[in-house]
Structure 1
Amino acid sequence: MSQYSASIITHSFWFTEFSQYLELRNQGIDDVDIRSMSIDDNYFQQQSTARALDMVRVVKRRVNTLDIDYFDLFPSLDLENQKIVNLLASLHLNRLFDEFMYEVYRNELLLGDAKLHSYEIEAFFSQKQVENEKIASWKEETIRRMAGTFKTFLREADLLENQGDYDLVKRPLLDIRLEMLLHTKGEDRQLAALVGR
């Protein structure tokens, strides 16, 4: 498993860009050419060259955590399940986010409470700080931004809905083909997090 990293706080969910990138790859366009399109033609319509570089680097890494089976399935999935594929690719790249999904989001589904409060997120990070020296060394601002990023990603994936004092936890309607693919690929942990097993 990868090292803990806080780099996700500088990233966006980038679902539209992720979808476009996958479509280009499905057309046979390679990563080098997609990067050139992003920088030279501003294909992904980013506000600056620096942002375009950052976005294309992160989205490329997400896409490259997936294999041809995901590439083939993605275009036929509905919007909700496509967003979940983007979320899964993000989980592949961030160990702490993956653990958050399994330990916090899954727990909400299992308990049936369906209300995620700030204190529950704070408790998760506090526990991780106790367990891991690297996370313990992070500034409070970093922890706060990580928590905010996790919530933003889950809201954009339609798995959380902001209710003001808490977030409503929404159980996704996973496409059976995606569910079977996750199982086939040995991603039972991620599948359990999404469906509350």
Structure 2
Amino acid sequence: MKQYSAAMVAHSFWFNEFSQYLDLREQGNADADIRYLAVEGNYFQQQTTSRSLRMVQTLKRRVNILDEDYFDLFPSLDLTNQKLMNLSAILQLDSLFDDFLYEVYRNELILGDAKLYSYEIEAFFNQKQVESSKVASWTEQTIRRLAGTFKTFLREAGLLEEQDDYDQVKRPLLDTRLEILLHTKGQTRQLAAFLGR
């Protein structure tokens, strides 16, 4: 059974910081060095030390779920595909968000409706509450916050565009090299979602 978590409500998309983290790694800094820069030197310009620490721990997990093949490709990708690489790392770390992309976003592309309404997001969480006692134990506020976080992340990745009473679902222009890399790494669900297959 999948392990779902609501921890994502405390995170942000942090794309610029993800890029900076990769730059620091490229310059030869170890994770411990980057943590020191973040906490002691406020490298990522966070308002509090605890926020710096939480962010750098999250970024470390995102970066470390990837490997050298991703790191080598990242600088040569356009902004859209760099954001998709950040999103890919997030999806690999959060199975509920991965399910949301695959079951909700992908279906919008397949069906061609391309309009994501709040009731469709509610239906997803209702289904997960039936499937998982963990999700069923969450408060309505937690689920509302998670739904908002999911939408925010997909908007920042360029996959959703906010309209009046719905989000326009946008199909990404996936770089062939990133597509091949995701396929090689076994990220078939992500690929299916990104490509609407």
| 1:172 CA drift (Å) | 0.2
Distance in 2, Cα, partners of 1:124 & 1:66? 28
- Which residue does the alignment assign to 1:138? 138
1:159 lines up with 2:156 in the alignment: no
| 1:40 CA drift (Å) | 1.2
- Which residue does the alignment assign to 1:187? 187
Query: TM-score scaled to structure 2, two decimals?
Result: 0.98
| 1:2 CA drift (Å) | 5.8
1:91 lines up with 2:91 in the alignment: yes
- Which residue does the alignment assign to 2:38? 38
Distance in 1, Cα, partners of 2:25 & 2:164? 39
Would you say the 8 A contact 1:2–1:94 is kept in 2?
no
Distance in 2, Cα, partners of 1:40 & 1:127? 44
Distance in 2, Cα, partners of 1:164 & 1:68? 41
Give 5+ residue unaligned stretches, structure 2.
none
Distance in 2, Cα, partners of 1:176 & 1:64? 23
> SS of the residue aligned with 2:65?
coil
- Which residue does the alignment assign to 1:15? 15
Q: How does 1:26-175 map to 2 (within 5 A)?
A: 26-175=26-175
List per-residue Cα deviations over 1:108-146 (Å, max 9, x = no partner). 000010100000000000000001111001001010001
Aligned-partner residue type, residue 136 of structure 2: A
Distance in 2, Cα, partners of 1:187 & 1:158? 19
Give 5+ residue unaligned stretches, structure 1.
none
Aligned-partner residue type, residue 86 of structure 2: N
Would you say the 8 A contact 1:2–1:95 is kept in 2?
yes
| 1:27 CA drift (Å) | 1.6
| 1:41 CA drift (Å) | 1.0
Aligned-partner residue type, residue 140 of structure 2: E
Aligned-partner residue type, residue 32 of structure 1: A
Distance in 1, Cα, partners of 2:9 & 2:184? 31
> SS of the residue aligned with 1:152?
helix
Distance in 2, Cα, partners of 1:26 & 1:71? 8
Indicate the percent of aligned positions where both proteins have the same amino acid: 72
Aligned length: 197
Distance in 1, Cα, partners of 2:77 & 2:91? 19
| 1:26 CA drift (Å) | 1.5
Over 3 Å counting, the alpha-carbon distance change for 1:112 and 1:178 in structure 2 is same
Q: CA RMSD in A?
A: 0.9
Distance in 1, Cα, partners of 2:84 & 2:102? 15
Tell me which moved more, 168-177 or 23-32.
23-32
> SS of the residue aligned with 2:144?
helix
Distance in 1, Cα, partners of 2:122 & 2:41? 42
List per-residue Cα deviations over 1:88-125 (Å, max 9, x = no partner). 11111111000000000000000010100000000000
- Which residue does the alignment assign to 1:196? 196
> SS of the residue aligned with 1:45?
coil
Distance in 1, Cα, partners of 2:177 & 2:2? 28
Distance in 1, Cα, partners of 2:7 & 2:165? 27
- After the TM superposition, list the runs of 4 or more consecutive aligned residues in structure 1 that deviate by more than 6 angstroms: none
